Structure 1
Amino acid sequence: MSRLTKGRVLIAAGSDPSGGAGIQADIKVVTALGGYAMTAITALTAQNTKCVFDIHSVPITFLRKQLELILDDIGTDVIKTGMLHSGLVIDVIVDVIQNKARDIPLIVDPVMIAKGGGCPLLDLDAMQVLKDRLIMRAHLLTPNLPEAEYLTGLAINNLDDMYHAAELLLSLGPSAVLLKGGHLLSETVIDLMVTKDNLHEFRSPRINSNNTHGTGCTLASAIATGLAQGLSMKDAVSRARKYVFTAIATAPRYKTAGYGPLNHVHTVIENI
């Protein structure tokens, strides 16, 4: 991998003080894959690997200022959203995109519930705003199965259900949907990517590991980096899945109360 930084990625998401997910993971991922990470923090969280205990929202006017100043100065090649938590936050993101980044590819990771539980990461009254204003503008939507169930109202228990849910998610307006199948209990993890004209299955063996904190944030940011670097959607997803697979396989295995962190820097270590 080239040591030259290439590909600007602007991430709007919440902070995770444990370092495994959220903005902290996003920065690690983009940097480890050779991109340039920029951030607009939507909220501070009090959490560890076990649970999200509390959320402190960033003032809406301050969030807008973060986004606008970055776009007016450095610019970006891709925008990626993570935890947005309220309708007001989603409205600001959409308004700024419409005014300053209408043609920039948008990756939407619809973060709703932390893996370990605790405070919901998306207010219930924000769900419709997410559908009506943000998802319809997405270049790629990256839900896991619980998130897809919330968005579609379907129970997803098998691969056929995944196909049905992916098509329903596509009808919400995104250009592409990557429905992640990791929550299905099987030896092979299957992710479905659907567009208006194509469908592709990505498969990988399951790693039996408890070190999976932040896998959704990590995968979406890795895809965003690939797109910012000029990869096709399929190649960006393929590279991102391989990156996450190795990050789980080589996780540091810290003794934690919940789901342990990934090894986000495995690409860096390989090149030392």
Structure 2
Amino acid sequence: MSTSIPRVLSIAGTDPTGGAGIQADLKSIAANGGYGMAVVTALVAQNTVGVRSVHVPPVSFLREQLDAVSDDVGIDAVKIGMLATAEVTIAVDQWLARVRPPVVVLDPVMVATSGDRLLDAEAEQALGDLARRADLVTPNVPELAILAGEPVATSWDAVLEQAARVSARYGVLVLAKGGHLRGADLPDALVDAAGETPTVTEIPGVRVDTTSTHGTGCSLSSALATRFAVSRDWENALRESKAWLVESLQHADSLDVGTGHGPIHHFGGMWARGGTATRPSPQEVTAGWWSDVSDIRAEIDELPFVCGLGDGTLDRDAFVWYLTQDALYLRDYSRVLAQASRLAPTAAEQAFWAASAQGAILGEMQLHESWVPPETIGRAAPSPTTSAYLDTLLAAGARGDYAVLVAALLPCFWIYHDVGQRLERLSHPGHPYSSWLETYADESFALSTAQAVQIVGTAAAAADESTRTAMGEIFRVCAGHELAFFAAPLGTQGRAVGQEPALPGSLTRAAP
């Protein structure tokens, strides 16, 4: 089964009201997952009430359109609709013989939903010849009768028998449709008379109570061409296309288009499920979050601890206390990173968070232990600030929501890199804290930070609105914890519990 987007060419007439013809084909192809292309055979002045006139451009221009497409673009399927004249039909037949597209679906447009006859007798004969070139033909009941040269069938059994005769006559798979028959049931069937006994694959259905049926034939045939180009299975393509058509009919009356037979709503189900809001890009999400915490970042820059760390005047005891708390933080932070690895949806993300967990223990802990003896770290207790930050992260990990968890982890990457990168410029050979500054301004940490930003942004862009909102909220909460963490060393002289500063502004709320 192909997983690429099928490129589907519609060769048909127009409908200025957008419900049938090429306009409907393009909507149908898009709604069913394909890339639609169009070559115009005829310009039709019609609306939901009826056809007023048909203008057929020169056949030489039709040939130029067809060649312009096939000379440049790969074609995975062709849907053929209204051809208007015998000359047009022959030109399309000749093009098919030369290009040989892999799938051809012929919707023999002879009678519009309004009842108007759309082809002359000579064109109908040429269309019968063209049917032999198709993989599937999709006539409605009156069109099936024309292809069979018989009276219009009035029962489903008669439709199936007529479809079998058409299949045998033209050597083509026929879609028999029950839409023009009376009754609540609306079956469709694939009829193949290639063997000794015709085979009938019937897909049952129920009629949708609506008069908005304009363009149903165009739309169904385009959906079939698109679905079959992917699955290579006519029965599967029919089931999927029929389900989509029923859904489009169920939403049709909401369009309120025209005073006659209104069009189906090609995107009704899709809009109902997913809406029309555009998803932000990963870069837009993370840029918005970064801007949202600009106040927190500005407060971090002004903290006495950060200023003293940058110019080297920071009290050594304050720095050691900070490193001790950071070491305690990293032990649980690495566990939360490991949880992110466990929840990661891709191998690449799993590897990234696992490597980050290992780096937090092996790399950053080594830096801390070069300043603070391990036994001192082992005897220390986490401060309220440290505990509050870890409680937020551990709670996010326990909930098992990967997207929200990685948003909570991101500030520890991004804010540390941001602070370290700017402070590292102040470093000099005699700077007492140069090893710390260089660690968080290091190129490898910069690359890890960029990768974390990309991973989290991608998760946020793919998430639903409520999840994306929750991600942004916990990102800000954890950015606030970073501010409190940097503030704690000089805000807790004597390290007495309860003397640490509260989280800034709205961040004083309890951790989730």
Distance in 2, Cα, partners of 1:97 & 1:155: 30
Equivalent position of 1:186 in the other structure: 183
1:188 maps to amino acid: D
Q: Tell me which moved more, 155-164 or 12-21.
A: 155-164
Q: Tell whether the 8 Å contact from 1:5 to 1:35 is kept in structure 2 after alignment.
A: no
Deviation string for 1:45-75 (max 9, x for gaps)? 1111000001110210110111111111112
Alignment of 1:68-83 (within 5 A): 68-83=67-82
Q: Could you say if the C-alpha distance between residues 137 and 219 of structure 1 is closer, same or farther in structure 2, counting changes exceeding 3 Å?
A: same
Q: Tell whether the 8 Å contact from 1:26 to 1:221 is kept in structure 2 after alignment.
A: yes
Q: CA offset at residue 257 of structure 1? A: 2.1
Distance in 2, Cα, partners of 1:112 & 1:41: 16
Pick aligned residue for 1:254 from 256, 266, 277: 256
State how many pairs are aligned. 266
Q: CA offset at residue 174 of structure 1? A: 3.9
Distance in 1, Cα, partners of 2:124 & 2:169: 13
Distance in 1, Cα, partners of 2:65 & 2:179: 34
Equivalent position of 2:14 in the other structure: 15
Equivalent position of 1:242 in the other structure: 243
Q: CA offset at residue 255 of structure 1? A: 5.6
Q: Tell whether the 8 Å contact from 1:50 to 1:117 is kept in structure 2 after alignment.
A: no
Equivalent position of 1:271 in the other structure: 274
Q: Tell whether the 8 Å contact from 2:167 to 2:174 is kept in structure 1 after alignment.
A: yes
Which secondary structure state, in structure 2, belongs to the residue aligned with residue 54 of structure 1?
A: strand
TM-score, normalised to structure 1, is: 0.93
1:42 maps to amino acid: T
2:147 maps to amino acid: L
TM-score, normalised to structure 2, is: 0.50
Q: Which has the higher helix share?
A: 2
Distance in 2, Cα, partners of 1:267 & 1:231: 24
Q: CA offset at residue 180 of structure 1? A: 0.6
Greater than 6 Å deviation, 4+ residue runs:
none
Q: RMSD between aligned alpha carbons?
A: 1.5
Is residue 113 of structure 1 aligned with residue 111 of structure 2?
Answer: yes
Q: CA offset at residue 175 of structure 1? A: 3.0
Q: Tell me which moved more, 165-174 or 141-150.
A: 165-174
Equivalent position of 2:172 in the other structure: 175
Q: What stretches of structure 1 of length at least 5 have no aligned partner? A: none
Equivalent position of 2:138 in the other structure: 142
Alignment of 1:32-51 (within 5 A): 32-51=31-50
Q: Tell whether the 8 Å contact from 1:166 to 1:192 is kept in structure 2 after alignment.
A: no
Equivalent position of 2:227 in the other structure: 226
Q: CA offset at residue 9 of structure 1? A: 0.4
Q: Tell whether the 8 Å contact from 1:109 to 1:143 is kept in structure 2 after alignment.
A: yes
Q: Tell whether the 8 Å contact from 1:13 to 1:81 is kept in structure 2 after alignment.
A: yes
Q: Which has the higher strand share?
A: 1
Q: CA offset at residue 230 of structure 1? A: 2.9
Q: What stretches of structure 2 of length at least 5 have no aligned partner? A: 276-512
Q: CA offset at residue 103 of structure 1? A: 4.8
Pick aligned residue for 1:131 from 128, 131, 140: 128
Deviation string for 1:112-161 (max 9, x for gaps)? 1211144x3111211111112x1011100101101111111133011221
Compare CA radii of gyration and give the structure with the larger one. Answer: 2
Q: Tell whether the 8 Å contact from 2:257 to 2:263 is kept in structure 1 after alignment.
A: no
2:239 maps to amino acid: S
Distance in 1, Cα, partners of 2:72 & 2:213: 35
Q: CA offset at residue 253 of structure 1? A: 4.5
Q: Tell whether the 8 Å contact from 2:185 to 2:207 is kept in structure 1 after alignment.
A: yes
Which secondary structure state, in structure 1, belongs to the residue aligned with residue 256 of structure 2?
A: coil
Q: CA offset at residue 267 of structure 1? A: 4.5
